[in-house]
Amino acid sequence: MFSPHHPVQLVLGLIIWSLFFVAVYSGLSVGCAFAPPSPEQGALTWINASVLLLMLATMIYLLCNAYYCWRARLPSKSSDNQGQPQKVREFIARIAASEYLLAAVATLLVGLPSVYLPPCV
């Protein structure tokens, strides 16, 4: 796991969101191509359930990371600062926490339509 002050944290939340997005779109396409549920089932299908589960898992992971970075924004007694000035560490941790949070919101918004829309129609 990366330190909350590692610069990769500035983009990691959104990379995870992107992977979630690609997974649900491509998974939906493949699912509809090879094992399409009956349209009569509406939104109560294995595809919708998979999207929702993936959404929940991704959101929980993103929110945990948001908390992890948010906690790390304050100065610590540890001397392991990798040569970074405290203000830079704080800057990275704050932005990373906000991005994880926004990525979680984005995950929720993208996944939510699977509650009520049929997958392959």
| Cβ at position 80, least distance to another protein in Å | 15
Straight-line distance from the first to the last Cα atom of the chain, in angstroms, rounded to the nearest whole number: 40
Q: List contacts with another protein (CB under 8 A).
A: 7, 10-11, 14-15, 17-18, 21, 24-26, 28-30, 32-34, 47-48, 51, 83-85, 87-88, 91-92, 94-95, 98-99, 102, 106, 109-110, 112-114, 117-121
* SS percent in the chain: helix, strand, coil, step 5: 70, 0, 30
Give the nearer residue to another protein in terms of CB position, either 32 or 63. Answer: 32
CB 31 within 8 A of CB 119: yes
Of 58 and 114, the one with the shorter C-beta distance to another protein is 114
Contact 17, 101 (CB under 8 A): no
Q: How far apart are CA 115 and CA 29, in angstroms?
A: 17
The two tokens of residue 44 are 């109560």
**Closer of 77 and 87 to another protein (Cβ):** 87
Residue 47 beta carbon to another protein: minimum distance, rounded to whole angstroms: 8
Q: How far is the CB of 21 from another protein (least distance, A)?
A: 5
Q: Sign (positive/negative) of CA torsion 103, 106, 110, 111?
A: positive
Q: How far is the CB of 64 from another protein (least distance, A)?
A: 19
The smaller minimum CB distance to another protein, of residues 68 and 73, is found at: 73
